[in-house]
Amino acid sequence: MVKSKIQNLKSKILIVGAGPAGASLAIRLARENFRVCLIERERFPRPKLCGEFISPECLEHFRELDVLDEMLSAGGERIAETVFYAPDGKSIGVPIRWFNGDSRGALSLSRAEMDFQLLEKAKRVGVEVLEDHSAVILLQEDNEIRGLKLRTKDGEVKEIFADLFVDATGRARILGNLISRKGAKAQSSKIQNPKSKIQNRLVGFKAHLRNVNLERGVCEIYFFRGGYGGLSYVENNLANFCFLIKADAVKNFSSDAQQIIQQLIFQNKRACETLKNAEPVHDWLAVSVDGFGQKDLNPVANLFAVGDAGAFIDPFTGSGMLMAMESAEILARAIVVNPAADKIAEQYKIEHARRFQRRLFICSLMRRAAFVPVLSKILISALSIGDFPRKMLARATRPAVSVSKIHQSRKNL
């Protein structure tokens, strides 16, 4: 075991998690002359379980962050349409032009590439970046965090102090969970049915595939018993296949992704056509998903949750990365214009609810159909009667105002 060495560092704002929420927040704050330290437990580029669908509204955020050219030249696929398939093969299409944002369509790009470009930009604008560092202990005093104890992959321990802290660790909510653990014993007696969480749990799988039978410029979504999956090309002539499935089904197939595909997902006729000759180019990634919707945005006075750590939206909407960057933008704005943590929290919560509450509610209703083949078939049949209902449903998962109007309001601040 490597002997630990305690180091004392100083930073004004500490962000844990260098995904799209954490990195874009760091870039925005550094440009406003804040001292920012960005902590990441991995070293980039690295694979990440994700649908890898970058909605057209995200391109405006890339433009603001000055990484649009890098993203567009990274070799990803431009997506013009998303097509949803019921198990019997019946389908409906949603043109990307119905969304707000770049008229050239969405972008399908690996998280390894996208996250790497954002992190490199953060470094260029003066963000202190610590890769291969994991947050292990919160240093708290009263109802505030004073610092974090970090551990590197070689066992070195550091203490780092800041005024504000941001949890951008996605669904893992690492900082939020470090707070929760302190009261875990006191709360354990209040748990009524611990099995219910396990029964409702989902598992996500993802791999890049070769030899898929997929049209260029299209993202396809397949519904099957107990879950759904999405397929689209990324860079290097490979396709990303990511699917979400109930945990009990995973257990029935001994967590074998290939068996799940062949025995369960291939019950969807279209999925069988596109994936029957596909081969993964790396091991399948898998992660547990415990729930969707709103989380605690401000667990303690000077800690804020952003991205999936603050609210997790259903992947079939294709708006997860958009929400990550939107939430980073509104938190950055709240930090810039407010001198105190309580004022930051007040503005952040109000704007977060205004932007996302409706979207999360609509998606909670749609989720019921996504995991039941009969309901997904009925919904697809109902939506196929014309463009108007599909337009309305598609836009219900996007920002309520156009990206151009949001961009103009930012300029006026």
Give the alpha-carbon dihedral of 316, 318, 324, 325, to 10 degrees. -170
Predicted structure pTM score: 0.88
pLDDT of residue 274: 98
DSSP for residue 412: T
Q: With the C-alpha atoms ordered 15, 21, 23, 28, is the resulting torsion angle positive or negative?
A: negative
Whats the size of the chain, residue-wise? Answer: 413
Residue predicted with more confidence, 379 or 409: 379
Residue predicted with more confidence, 324 or 191: 324
pLDDT band at 314 (very low <50, low <70, confident <90, very high): confident
**With 60 as the cut, is the pLDDT of residue 147 above it?**
yes
pLDDT tens column, 249-276: 899 899 999 999 999 999 999 999 999 9
| Paired strand residues for 295 | none
Give yes or no for a contact between 319 and 53, defined as CB atoms under 8 angstroms apart: no
Q: Which position has the token pair 């669904």?
A: 171
Question: Does domain 8-186+292-411 match CATH 3.30.565.10?
Answer: no
pLDDT of residue 102: 53
pLDDT of residue 337: 93
**With 60 as the cut, is the pLDDT of residue 407 above it?**
no
pLDDT of residue 11: 54
Report the mean per-residue pLDDT for the chain. Answer: 86
| Contacts (Cβ under 8 Å, ≥6 apart) of 193 | none
Which range among 152-161, 195-204, 350-359 shows the weakest confidence by mean pLDDT? 195-204
Give yes or no for a contact between 232 and 53, defined as CB atoms under 8 angstroms apart: yes
pLDDT of residue 182: 58
| Contacts (Cβ under 8 Å, ≥6 apart) of 321 | 20, 50, 53, 54, 55, 58, 114
- The total of other beta-carbon atoms located within 10 Å of residue 118's CB is 25
